[in-house]
Structure 1
Amino acid sequence: MLLEKTIAEVGTLYPEPMAEAQKRLDSLIKPPGSLGRLEELAVQLAGITGNPRPVVGDRVIIIMAGDHGVVAEGVSVAPQEITHQQIPAFLTGVAGIGVLGRLAGARLVVVDVGVAVPVDYPGVLNRKVRPGAGNIARGPAMTREEAVRSVEVGIEVVQGEIDRGATLIGLGDMGIGNTTPSSAIAAVLGGYAPEEVTGRGTLVNDQVLRQKINVVARALEVNRPDPADALDVLAKVGGLEIGGLAGVILGAAARRVPVVIDGFITTAAAMVAVALQPRVKEFMIASHLSGEQGHRLMLEHLGLVPMLYLNMRLGEGTGAALAMHLVEAACRVINQMASFSEAGIADLDEDKILK
C-alpha cells in the first residue's frame, strides 16, 4: 500500500551536512548565531536535503479543497458554496494566495479531493475521493478506506510535483467549515479540551463560537476516535483536504523535500502526519502563528516554532507563501555571505567578546 510504503521511506536528518552547515555559518562575517532562526533554518535544510550549502529552486504551494457536512450544524456563517466558488480566484491569481504565491515565485497546484459538487475549472486536479465529508456531529467524516485514499492523493500529488522539479513545498487549504474538524483533530491528538482549540474561523460571533465548541464536543462523543490511531481520528472527525495535506507532508518528507505548513488547518494535517510517522516533524517548517485560537497549542504539541506573527487567519497557504521568502533568505545567507578568511577580515574571538 502506498501509504505504508511512504511512511517507511521517511528518514531522519543527515547529521554530517548539518555539522558542515553550522561550521560554515559560524565562519561568516558576523557574530556566531547573530542571524538566529535563519541560521537554524539553514542547518535544518542541510539536514533535510543532504546539501551543506542548501538552495531553493522550484517552489510549489499545494492547495487541497474539500467540503464538510458539519456546516449543517451552523458552525460557519459562510455558505458551503464558497468552497468551489473561491477556486477560480486561486487559479486566476486574484485571491490572497494568488497574490502572495506569485510574490513568492511559487506555482499553485489546486486539488479537488472532496468538494461537494463537481469542479470543472481549468487547471484543477480532480482527485475527488467523495463529494464532501460527512457531518461529524452525527457520524464519521468518512470511512477508514476513504481516509487512507485521501492521504494517498496527497502523496501522489506532491511526489508528482517533486518529479517535475519542486524543491520546496507549501501547504494550503480551502473548505468552508474546516476549522471545526481541525479543532476536533487537535483535541483528540493533542489531548486538549474542545474549548481550548476551537476558535472563530470565518466571521464567527460569540453565539456561533459556542455552537462550534458544542459541535466539536458532540463529534468526539458520537465518534469516539482513538487517539492512538491517526487514521481512525482522520476518518471519524477529520476532512478529506486535511487527509490530503497530511499525505503531502508524508510524501515530501519521504523524498527529503522541506514542507512549509500554513495555519490552523494545515497544522491539523501536520498532527495527523506526525501521528502516522513522527519523523516527518523534522522536515516541516512552521510559517506563522495563526490568529485562530488553538493554533499555538497545536504548534507547541508538534514542537514547532513559527517564524512570523502577523495575526493572519486566511489560510489558503498565504502564511506558507510569505515564509518561503525566509527559507530563501536562509539559503542566501549560507551561500552568499563571505567568511572572515574569504573577506580578509580578522576573525572574531568569541571568548573575548563574551568577556
Structure 2
Amino acid sequence: MSVDGWHTLLVLGGIRSGKSEFAESLVADAPTVRYVATAPAGDPEDTEWAARLAAHRARRPGSWSTEETAADPGRLVEVIAAAGPNDTLLVDDLGGWVTVLLDPVHQPADDTATIAELAAAVRSSTARLVLVSPEVGLSLVPTTPLGRAFTDALGATNRAVADACDAVTLVVAGQTAWLKPATPATPAPAHAVPPAAAPPEAAPSHAAAPQTAAPRAAAPWTTAAPSQAAPDQVTPAGLGAADLTLPEVLTPAAAPAPAPAAPDAPGTGDWAAPTMALPMIATGLVIQPGMELPMPDDYTGPQAVDRLATLDISGAGLGVLEQVVGFAAATQGTSTPRPWDSVRVLLIRGDHEGGASAGATPGASARRARQARAGRGALARLAAENRAGLQIVEAPVSAPMEDGPALPADEVEAALRYGWRLAEQAADAGVQLLVLAACGAGAEAAAAAVLAATAGAEAPTVLGRVITEQGEIDDTAWMVRCATVRDALHRTRRSAREAKDVLAELGGGDIALATGVLLGATARKVPVLLDGPVGTAAAMVSRDLAGQARHWCLLPDHGGRPGVRLAADVLGLTPLVDLRLDLGEGATALAALPLLRSALTLAATLPAHPSLGGPDDDGDEPDFAEPEPAGPGPTTVGADEPVSPGRRAD
C-alpha cells in the first residue's frame, strides 16, 4: 500500500457516499487482499438488499479472497488478530458487524467489552488494515429503541476504532476529508492516497547540496529522497539553455542522525533507521522469499501483438519490436499501449573493495556521478534527449568479497527496503518507466559472483574483458577479478544460497539496492529497463524473493557482456537489439528508448488497413461508389454548371 505514515485506516461516510469505492481504491495495488464481509445475508425475499450485496461482490477483483464473519461477531477480532505483516485486510463494514452484534441470537452479551476487543485488535495489528463504517453522528436520533441501540453501539464502535487507527478519513459525496492526520494545505482529491505522516527529518529538501563519496559508515544514500518540486538545473560549461535541455536531476537530501535503536532491534544499520517512516515499512511489509507480487496482464499483451497484423503498414511490420508492444500492453493493462511519457533514471553508485575492482581507476565512479549531476556525460545527455528525470543514489562501499561478507545482513535488509522505497517514490510521482543505471568499481565482478552463485556459472565465462580508460585490454586485471570471484565462491561454498545470503556474501550494497528497486517497481506495476550486470544480477536475485519481478523487466541490448547474456537466458529476457552498445549501464537502455517509443507510437496511432474497415489514404472513410447503370443514365455535369431540372449531379 503506497500510503505514508499509517497502516490502519478507518473510512467513514454516509449512505452512497462512495466510502466503499474509496477504501477499495486504497488497496487496489496490493498483490493480495482479504475482503472481510460483515453483513448478514438478510431476508431472502429482500431482492434489493441481495442486489446490493451482489454489486459489492462484482466489484472485487478475482485475486481477492473473501472472509464472511456474519455468523459470529467475535470472528472479526480473530481475523484481524491473526493477520500478519504481509497481509492486506479490507473490512466492509462495521455497520454490518454492529447489526450482527446486536442480533438477539448473540444476546445476552457484553457489547462494550466486544467493541473494546475490536479496538485492541486494530491497535495491535501488524497487517495493512482498512475498515469501512457508516457515520451516524450526523443523523437524527432514531424514534425506536432498537434504532437508538444501533446508533449508540455504532457510534461507540467508530470512536473506539478511530482512536486505534493511524488515520481516519470521511467521505462525503465522493470527496475525502482527512480527519486524522489533519488535512494538508493542498487537499488530496477523492480516491487519492492520504498525505505523508513522515517526521520532518525524512522530508526531501530541494536545496541540499549534491552528495559526494562518503565513508562506508556514513551510508549517505539512505537519506536520499527524490525532490517533489522542480529542482535547480545546472548548465554545463560551454552550453547554453538553447543548446541542451538538461534532465531533471533529483538531489538527495541530508537528514539528521536518527534516534538510537535497541541493540537487538532488526535492521539497526546506519541506513535502516531513517527509512522507518517510509510507506512499505510503515505498513509492516517483510521482504522475504516467496512474496506474491502483481503479474502483468495475461491477455492484453497477446491481444496487442495480434492487433499489429491489422495495421495499415506497407511492410511486414515491427519485427522483434513486437515484443515491446506486447510488454507495454501487458504492463499497462491495455491492448493499445501508449509510449512511456514519464521516465526516471536511477543511477546507483557503489564501489567494491578488494580484487573485484582490479584495473579500475580510483575515483572513476565518483567522477561519473558528478558528471551526471552536472548534466554531462553519456547518461545525462541521453536522459535529456529522452526527457527523463535522473536520480543519483549513493550506496556504501562493499567490503572485499574474497575475505568476508560484502555487506552486513542488517544493511542488506535496509538496502532492499530503501530500493523498494525509491520505486514507490517514482510511482507516486507518476513515473511510467524506470531505467536502472549503475556505476561502481568492481560492480561487474560482484555481479559475476552473484551469477555464479545463482546460475552455476564459472567466473571466466561471465566476466567481460577489462578495458582501461585508455582503451587498452588489461588481461592481468581480468585474471585478478576471476581469482577474486573464485575465492569468494570457495569461501561461501557451505553458505546458504538464498537471496539475502547471496547479497550479503557477494552482491554488496549496489546490487541489494537494485534488487529492492525491482521488487518495489513490481509491487507498484512500474516496468523497468535493464541493460547491464548490476541490473541483471539483481533480477537473478529477485527470482527467489518474488518470481513476478522478471516479468516487469525489459532488456533492450546485452551490450556484448557475457554475464548479461547468461542472465538474460536464465530469466527469459530476450534482448531486443544486438547493437553491442557499451555506453555504461543505463545509457545503453536510454539510447534504445527512442526506438522503443517509436514502435509504441506506431502501434497506438496507426489505423487498421482499409480492407479491414480502416480509413482510406486521405484519412476519411472510403467513399460510396455507385455502380454503373446497365443502360443510358444521367450525364455528369461540371462543378460550375447549373443543374437543370430533371437532371442530377453525380
The amino acid across from 1:83 in the alignment is S
Shift of 1:111: 0.7
TM-score (norm 2): 0.48
Name the residue aligned to 1:216.
485
Name the residue aligned to 1:153.
418
Name the residue aligned to 1:39.
322
Shift of 1:67: 1.7
- CA change 1:14–1:90 in 2 (3 A) is same
Name the residue aligned to 1:183.
448
The amino acid across from 1:46 in the alignment is A
- The Cα offsets for residues 226-253 of structure 1, whole Å up to 9 and x where unpaired, read as 5741111111001211111111111111
| 1:15 aligned counterpart, secondary structure | coil
Shift of 1:319: 1.2
The amino acid across from 1:54 in the alignment is P
Shift of 1:285: 0.3
- Partners of 2:402 and 2:491 within 8 A in 1: yes
Aligned mate of 1:207, from 446, 470, 476: 476
- CA change 1:295–1:6 in 2 (3 A) is closer
Shift of 1:209: 1.2
Aligned mate of 1:97, from 360, 370, 379: 379
Name the residue aligned to 2:462.
197
| 1:166 aligned counterpart, secondary structure | coil
- CA change 1:316–1:289 in 2 (3 A) is closer
- CA change 1:201–1:11 in 2 (3 A) is farther
Name the residue aligned to 2:30.
none
Structure 1 spans left out of the alignment, 5+ residues: 115-131, 346-355
Question: How far apart, in 2, do the equivalents of 1:225 and 1:194 lie?
Answer: 18
Shift of 1:144: 2.0
Aligned mate of 1:88, from 366, 370, 373: 370
Shift of 1:292: 2.8
Shift of 1:221: 0.8
- CA change 1:225–1:258 in 2 (3 A) is farther
- The Cα offsets for residues 242-267 of structure 1, whole Å up to 9 and x where unpaired, read as 11111111111111111100212221
Matches within 5 A, 1:115-154: 132-154=397-419
| 1:155 aligned counterpart, secondary structure | helix
Aligned mate of 1:76, from 358, 373, 377: 358
Name the residue aligned to 1:122.
none
Q: Does 1:257 align with 2:505?
A: no
- Partners of 2:359 and 2:466 within 8 A in 1: no
Q: Does 1:26 align with 2:309?
A: yes
Question: How far apart, in 2, do the equivalents of 1:330 and 1:7 lie?
Answer: 35
| 2:337 aligned counterpart, secondary structure | coil
The amino acid across from 1:91 in the alignment is R
How many pairs does the alignment contain?
326
Question: How far apart, in 2, do the equivalents of 1:226 and 1:343 lie?
Answer: 64
- Partners of 2:356 and 2:484 within 8 A in 1: no
Question: How far apart, in 2, do the equivalents of 1:174 and 1:156 lie?
Answer: 20
Shift of 1:93: 1.6
Quick check: which has more Rg, 1 or 2?
2
Name the residue aligned to 1:64.
348
**RMSD (Å), alpha carbons:** 2.2
- The Cα offsets for residues 144-174 of structure 1, whole Å up to 9 and x where unpaired, read as 2211211211110111011001001101001
The amino acid across from 2:575 in the alignment is P
Shift of 1:98: 0.9
- Partners of 1:76 and 1:202 within 8 A in 2: no
The amino acid across from 2:564 in the alignment is H
Question: How far apart, in 2, do the equivalents of 1:33 and 1:17 lie?
Answer: 22
Question: How far apart, in 1, do the equivalents of 2:289 and 2:335 lie?
Answer: 25
- Partners of 2:321 and 2:576 within 8 A in 1: no
Counting helix residues as a fraction of each chain, which structure ranks higher? Answer: 1
Name the residue aligned to 1:163.
428
Question: How far apart, in 1, do the equivalents of 2:491 and 2:602 lie?
Answer: 52
TM-score (norm 1): 0.85
Question: How far apart, in 2, do the equivalents of 1:74 and 1:13 lie?
Answer: 36
- Partners of 1:183 and 1:197 within 8 A in 2: yes
| 1:8 aligned counterpart, secondary structure | coil
- Name whichever of 211-220 and 335-344 sits farther off: 335-344
Structure 2 spans left out of the alignment, 5+ residues: 1-283, 618-650
Name the residue aligned to 2:300.
17
